[in-house]
Structure 1
Amino acid sequence: MTLTEIIFVLTGTCAILVFGGKVASLIMMLITKLFCPLPEAFFTSLGKWAVITGGSDGIGRAYAEELSKQGMSVIIISRNQEKLDRAAKKIELKTGGKVKVIAADFTKDDIYGHITENIEGLDIGVLVNNVGILPSQIPCKLLETSDLEERIYDIINCNVKSMVKMCRIVLPGMQQRRRGVILNVSSGIAKIPCPIYTLYAASKVFVERFSQGLQAEYISKGIIIQTVAPFGVSTAMTGHQKPDMVTFTAEEFVRSSLKYLKTGDQTYGSITHTLLGRIVQSIPTWVLQSEAFQHHFQEYVKNRDRR
């Protein structure tokens, strides 16, 4: 066999293996209950408490409500005390579970001592790092962002630093007890180059890489660390889009995503978003980076928000 033939055979074998791996991953998601079922008392076996950042609204509140339904007491952390109190009352009425609130603005640096004091000594089984912000409601080029210096600071603090610091606070107890789950909420757009969402997408790429490395470091300690990367979810951040085949309510998405907790260190959280992710990743990079795409995407978001 010549060198050229060997190269072609190896290339073909690698292509088959990669494609086969993707097919196997998709099949596993389709029948996840068979491959990776969660025991009935799975969450309460991890610990008494769940901590959720950005827990007063949207995906964060949906996680808090669902984990409360599973029998856990929950701590929701966000900056607005009134919204926190309202969310806590609604969750308690719906689930009968215990809800504790901590008011903290994750764009600030001086909040972590306060958070540590309020959760110190608790048996925390689940941490959901959900809090995050956009640089601007309407996507735009970096230098067109209003108050850019402040926005850079806020994005790094809220989307990046908060996750690392919360892991730093909660992980030692999980390591000592040799059990726990950390869910870090990313975004589907972290999978592709995403101009006009550059700062936000880059912060979510950090979430994914940090989570993968951390999982490799602590999987032997019995701790699950997973990135959850949704596409369309109807929340305030997405202008409360009307739910459809691709866009979920926050409650629907959270219920779906928790089913994939044992399928690996990353998940899109649903079959629909997994298929969408495969499609988006197959789009040539030059299309995503073109001025035409940027313009049409910006106009789409403007029209969506007006509706």
Structure 2
Amino acid sequence: MELLVQQFFTLLGLIFCLHLILKFLGFSKYLFPRLWGVLPPSFFQTLGEWAVVTGAGDGIGKAYAIELANRGMNIVMISRTLEKLQKVALEIELTTGRNVKIIQADFTKNKIYEHIEENLKGLEIGVLVNNVGMLHSPDPCSFLAVPDNDENLINCNVVSVIKMTRLVLKQMAQRRQGIVLNISSAFGSFPCPLYAIYSASKVFVTTFSKALQAEYKSEGIIIQAVTPYGVSTPMTKNQSTNLITKSSRDFVQESLNHITHGSETFGCLAHAVLGCIMNQVPMWVIHSTRVQEYFLDFINTKQSKE
């Protein structure tokens, strides 16, 4: 019996050590990205001439459009506000010399995809960034505390990813190359109270991305969910940047270095560390009424000081 107990704890120790090794390997791609392979400067150009970015008028989408142009790609920018698109397009053309095509579309609507498909005809698309997204409310709040905009949010956060991926993946599969980056959120890694619909929509994006990667990786296509924590954008009220909250530009530049490192990435080292910490927090703590009340009080106090 004593020998059996000893063997059990030995096995338990080996499993724990293996767990730590796997965790370290996961972090090593952020700590030592060169060990995992450095993408050559011409990498993106070899995939196709054009990159398509949704929600490209500002925030993370704008940063992807600019950075992919800096890396040699022509850009298709799709968003709702024409003035923002025109401003960013001019900036890209003047600073990078790349071609930019604008498609105005409101992703809260469903009758836009024929228009988008028509405007994408004849373009060799190497990269698709499904970035467009929206919150159910500018501030965290309970489900019944905001007007019913559920359909708009689902169309924008979920349907857009499905429809745009279907449009572009067809030609990528024919050419057996391409990248689809689906911008999800770390809030989709656990059921997040006060962001219920948003959190659920990002669960879909992450799961959808991983399933498609399993289906199409043998055809030379990369499909990756990008799951950041804090990024300073208009949607997050342009929060001040710090160790955790990244600027859109810094986050995108780092996240593009990890596109060959698996079907899901936090995008940067700081968010990977935070994700590891959050995974150790018991769900009952996150879901407790007291924690939610404290969080709401913290947000209200912060806003009153601004």
TM-score (norm 2): 0.95
1:16 counterpart residue number: 17
Letter in 1 for 2:129: V
The answer to whether the aligner puts 1:35 opposite 2:36 as a matched pair is yes
Secondary structure at the residue paired with 2:241?
coil
String of CA shifts for 1:206-257, please: whole Å, max 9, x gaps.
1110000000000011001111111111100111001111111111110010
Cα-Cα RMSD: 1.6
Q: Which runs of 4+ in 1 moved over 6 A?
A: none
For the Cα contact (< 8 Å) 1:138–1:302, is it kept in 2? no
The answer to whether the aligner puts 1:157 opposite 2:183 as a matched pair is no
Between the aligned residues of both structures, percent identity stands at 47
2:105 counterpart residue number: 104
1:61 counterpart residue number: 62
Pairing partner for 2:241 from 240, 243, 266: 243
The answer to whether the aligner puts 1:173 opposite 2:174 as a matched pair is no
2:88 counterpart residue number: 87
Distance 1:305 1:125, change over 3 A: farther
Distance 1:76 1:264, change over 3 A: same
Distance 1:9 1:254, change over 3 A: same
TM-score (norm 1): 0.95
Superposition deviation, residue 53 in structure 1: 0.4
- Tell me how many residue pairs correspond in the alignment: 304
CA separation in 1, counterparts of 2:204 and 2:4?
40
The answer to whether the aligner puts 1:216 opposite 2:214 as a matched pair is yes
- Give unmatched runs, 5+ long, in structure 2: none
The answer to whether the aligner puts 1:48 opposite 2:49 as a matched pair is yes
For the Cα contact (< 8 Å) 1:163–1:184, is it kept in 2? yes
Distance 1:3 1:144, change over 3 A: farther
For the Cα contact (< 8 Å) 1:47–1:123, is it kept in 2? yes
2:120 counterpart residue number: 119
Letter in 2 for 1:22: K
Correspondence list, 1:196-211, <5 A: 196-211=194-209
Pairing partner for 1:275 from 273, 276, 279: 273
String of CA shifts for 1:85-107, please: whole Å, max 9, x gaps.
11211222222211111011111
- Give unmatched runs, 5+ long, in structure 1: none
Distance 1:179 1:288, change over 3 A: same
Superposition deviation, residue 25 in structure 1: 1.0
Superposition deviation, residue 281 in structure 1: 1.4
CA separation in 2, counterparts of 1:124 and 1:304?
43
Secondary structure at the residue paired with 2:258?
coil
Secondary structure at the residue paired with 1:259?
helix
CA separation in 2, counterparts of 1:53 and 1:38?
24
